[in-house]
Amino acid sequence: AQKITQTQPGMFVQEKEAVTLDCTYDTSDQSYGLFWYKQPSSGEMIFLIYQGSYDEQNATEGRYSLNFQKARKSANLVISASQLGDSAMYFCAMREGSGEYGNKLVFGAGTILRVKS
C-alpha cells in the first residue's frame, strides 16, 4: 500500500493567488512526522515545512502552511500569494516513529506546480 499519496500530477495557479497541494498518508503509528519538499527545475531538494503528529496547531513557514487533518490523514500544503519562482515539483513525505532506529523518509510521487503570470 502507498504510504504517501499525491493525487494531483499537475496544478496551475495564477500569480498572487493561493494554491493547495494535496497529500494523504497511511500509517498505524501514533508518532510520525510529515514534510514537504520543493524541487525546482535545477533538481535540488529544498525543505519547506514540517508537521508532527502531536502538534496541535498547523505548521506555518512564511507563505507556506500545512493544513493538517489527522482524522482524515491528510497534510495538504497551502502556498499563499504564489510567485513565479514557486513553479516546481512538490513532494510530500512521512517519517514514522516506530522501530528501534526510527524509519526512513518515504516520499509521494509529487505534484508539478506551474504559476502563471
Partner 1 sequence: GAGVSQSPRYKVTKRGQDVALRCDPISGHVSLYWYRQALGQGPEFLTYFNYEAQQDKSGLPNDRFSAERPEGSISTLTIQRTEQRDSAMYRCASSLVPPGPFATNEKLFFGSGTQLSVL
Instruction: Enumerate binding residues for partner 1 (CB under 8 A).
Output: 4, 31-33, 35, 37, 43-45, 47, 50, 52-53, 91, 93, 95-99, 101-110
Specify the residue, 68 or 91, whose C-beta has the smaller distance to partner 1.
Answer: 91
Q: Which residue type occupies 33?
A: G
Rounded to a whole number of angstroms, the minimum distance from the CB of residue 17 to partner 1 is 25
Q: Which three cell numbers stand for residue 110?
A: 509529487
Rounded to a whole number of angstroms, the minimum distance from the CB of residue 48 to partner 1 is 10
Specify the residue, 82 or 110, whose C-beta has the smaller distance to partner 1.
Answer: 110
d(CA 109, CA 100): 27
Rounded to a whole number of angstroms, the minimum distance from the CB of residue 57 to partner 1 is 14
Number of C-alpha atoms within 13 angstroms, CB side, residue 93? 19
The DSSP result for 42-93, as a single string, is T---EEEEEEETT-SS--EETTEEEEEETTTTEEEEEE-S--GGG-EEEEEE
Specify the residue, 78 or 109, whose C-beta has the smaller distance to partner 1.
Answer: 109
Specify the residue, 86 or 96, whose C-beta has the smaller distance to partner 1.
Answer: 96
